[in-house]
Amino acid sequence: MTDFDWNTAHTICELNGFRWVLGPESEDEMNWDDATDWCKSVGGVLPSIAILHDSYWNRDIKGSFANGYYWSSSEFDDYRAWLQSFYNYGQKYIVHKSNPYLVRAVRAIKIGEE
């Protein structure tokens, strides 16, 4: 993957003193552990379910996602985590972490430190 320019990334939302920006998307689906590691490898983090939910409802951002299911960093328990659908009315699901799904990195930038 080519280097991603976080400075020109689209803003998803501002939350708790941070501006959350949309990062690169993996070319491959992967399980939750690999998704977490991949996001770190590109300089971002796996987004929380709240950030993904905001992305689904943000008209400027939603089109940047494929029609599919995306991992969130929000864990339900040791074996399952939340998944955000980008079709099917933006529903959220709890699934086993070993299943492969789509992955998109995000980054939090402290407001005022940009």
Cα–Cα distance measured from residue 81 to residue 97, given in angstroms and rounded to the nearest whole number: 6
Note the pLDDT tens digit of each residue in 77-109. 999 999 999 987 889 999 999 999 999 999 999
Q: In this predicted model, what pLDDT tens digit does every residue of 26-43 receive, in sequence order?
A: 999 999 999 999 999 999
Count of other CB atoms within 10 angstroms of residue 74: 19
Q: What is the pLDDT of residue 7?
A: 78
pLDDT at 66 over 70: yes
Asked if 90 contacts 73 with a C-beta cutoff of 8 angstroms, the reply is: no
pLDDT exceeds cutoff 60 at 51: yes
pTM above 0.85, yes or no: yes
Quickly tell me which residue has 């950030």 as its tokens. Answer: 51
Q: ∠ CA 58-62-63 to the nearest 5 degrees? A: 135
pLDDT at 111 over 80: yes
Q: Give the mean pLDDT of the chain.
A: 92
> What pLDDT score does 114 carry?
61
* Confidence band of 2 (pLDDT split at 50, 70, 90): low
Contact present, 106 and 54 (Cβ < 8 Å): no
Q: Tell me the DSSP string of 45-97.
A: BPPPHHHHHHHHH-HHHHTTS-SSEEEEEEESSSSEEEEEESSGGG-EEEEET
